[in-house]
Amino acid sequence: MFLISVARFISQFSRWEFTRPEWLTKNVLIVCGIIAGIAIIAAIVIPVAVIFSKRKHLTSKEIVCHIIFSKTVDSVAATTNTTTDAPVLAYWNFEGNGNDLYGVYNGTSNCGSCQYLTTGFYGGTYFYIPNTNNYMQVPASSYFNLNSRSFTFEAWVYFYSLSTDQPIFSQCTCTTCTSQCLFLVVRSSKLYMGFNFNDLSGSTTLSTYTWYHVAFVYNYQTFQQIIYLEGVQDAIRSSVTPYLGTNGSMYFGALPNLISTYYYGIIDNAQLTTRAKSSTEISNDAMQVFYYSFDQPNPYYDNGPNRLNATATNILSATTGHVGQAVRFTSTSSYLQICCFTGVGWPSSRSLSFAMWISPSSINGGNFVYSTQGYPMLGLTYSGQIAAQILEQAPVNVWETIYGTFAVVNTWVHVACTFSVTNGFILYVNGVSQGAITGISTYYFNYNFQTIQMGTGNGNGYIPSYGFQGSIDEFYTYRRELSATEILALASV
């Protein structure tokens, strides 16, 4: 019975027809179609117009800064402020003047004794401030708005005195009002970040006659003040009311709320941006010396934070790299020079790292990393074996050498070496340690500023002077020891 009932229902349904009501005429259908079309178009056009109108009201400065930011910021950058999607950036390299690299926040020296002297931390010139009544000012007419937003200030500093407050940077609206006077100083020989009665003190005691990378961060999203020294977090404070200044000049070397206090020392490569940089970015800014991708159209431009472009080249050509493009050494006389690898000293116990990809066209020797003062550190032996060496100064004065695997002609291989007093001198090939020499307390490599040369050398130690022939790509150098994990990551690209 059930199947019969179903069959009858289907038979009746198949004979059902739709009967159009008398009012649903052809003209009504046309009108309804037109109304529906207009509604669809409005749903698309109105949001687009709103977005366009918002973008149209961006100032030219915001657009330029957005372009600069998008080209220079690491993809893993930390949060930005909520008041703008285009962080503003200023950069003072003090190359003979106080101009902002982007031409917006130019400063002038308000002193008779200030000088731009050679050589800055990474070469070039630096800004020397000889204490009393000497400073650089960016006028209020070029107001840099830091009110209620994230920001990061970074600089290289060197002190001749720490007996009084050393004002690095400041901007004040009201010198007696809470959170309306921004000052970044050294106080009691420690870094100090203040918004005025809303402050954070660092924890590490600084020394005179020593270069430091310093960074001061305010994160508007987390309401935190953070101080970094040499790329490492030195102090942090939470639940911090943001800086509330609404106008004012910016000063390097002076504080409006401490009129008689001035900086006595050197400032170099200062930068300010309206976003909170991540700890990884700041570590990289402080510790990466240079990075060359060797990609076209500017293969000899430094892609790292210090813009240390190659200073001399000889008989080089472009070629296909392990990543993108590479530079090819086509003759035993080929070389590439970069100035300057710095901050090591003589003799030194400071950490360092070098890493690169190589593809030799000949395995008869050659230098990958050579200090032009006579110290080859990475290269090939005459038999094509990868070697790393260091001239130990103490406890004994002797060349120490680690031999790795043999290179293969026209085959890319990743080569790196690192040093720290804790872990010693280590050679890595394709991300794998080839051995370590421990117990080295000091070594010779360079003076304060040294040109790094790739290709040729003088043959000291066990790496011959014969020029390297082949290709080099993705060249990194650091003022710190990269971990085995970091080396393996570079070797896995």
Which residues neighbour 455 within 8 Å (Cβ) at sequence distance 6 or greater? 314, 329, 334, 335, 336, 366, 367, 467, 468
Residues 403-444 pLDDT 10s: 999 999 999 999 999 999 999 999 999 999 999 999 999 998
pLDDT score at 37: 58
Listed residue (128, 166, 191) closest to 263, CA to CA: 166
Which stretches of the chain score pLDDT less than 70? Answer: 1-85, 259, 343-346, 446-448
pLDDT score at 46: 42
Listed residue (205, 192, 203) closest to 235, CA to CA: 203
pLDDT score at 49: 39
Largest CA distance in the chain: 112
Give, in order, the Cα–Cα distances in Å from 126 to each of 95, 120, 338. 7, 5, 19
Residue pair 275/66 in contact (Cβ under 8 Å)? The answer is no
Q: pTM of the full predicted structure?
A: 0.79
Residue pair 340/450 in contact (Cβ under 8 Å)? The answer is yes
Question: How far is the C-alpha of 490 from the C-alpha of 428, rounded, in Å?
Answer: 11
Residues 272-296 pLDDT 10s: 999 999 999 999 999 999 999 999 9
ω into residue 297 within 30 of 0, thus cis? yes
Neighbours of 50 (CB within 10 A): 10
> CA dihedral in degrees (393, 395, 400, 402; nearest 10)?
-130
Residue pair 273/89 in contact (Cβ under 8 Å)? The answer is yes
Which residues neighbour 288 within 8 Å (Cβ) at sequence distance 6 or greater? 304, 305, 306, 476, 477, 478, 479
Question: How far is the C-alpha of 254 from the C-alpha of 241, rounded, in Å?
Answer: 24
Question: How far is the C-alpha of 11 from the C-alpha of 235, rounded, in Å?
Answer: 83
Upper half-sphere CA count for residue 427 (Cβ side, 13 Å): 21
pLDDT score at 36: 55
DSSP 355-417: EEEEEES--S-EEEEEETTTEEEEEE-TT-EEEEEEEEEESS-EEEEEEEEEP-TT--EEEEE
Residue at token pair 């130019």:
106
What percentage of the chain's residues is helix, strand, coil (to nearest 5)?
Answer: 15, 40, 45
pLDDT score at 242: 98
Which pair of structure tokens corresponds to residue 151?
């920001």
Give, in order, the Cα–Cα distances in Å from 28 to each of 22, 31, 41, 238. 11, 5, 20, 66
Which residues neighbour 403 within 8 Å (Cβ) at sequence distance 6 or greater? 381, 385, 386, 387, 427, 434, 435
Residue pair 102/90 in contact (Cβ under 8 Å)? The answer is yes
26: enclosing H helix or E strand: helix 26-56
Q: Which residues of 395-418 are buried (b: 16+ CB within 10 A; e: fewer)?
A: eeeeebbbbbeebeeeebbbbbbb
Residue ranges and CATH numbers for the domains of the chain are: 61-277 (2.60.120.200), 288-491 (2.60.120.200)
Question: How far is the C-alpha of 85 from the C-alpha of 103, rounded, in Å?
Answer: 21
Q: Which residues of 420-448 are buried (b: 16+ CB within 10 A; e: fewer)?
A: beeebbbbbbbbebbeebeebebbbbbee
pLDDT score at 178: 96
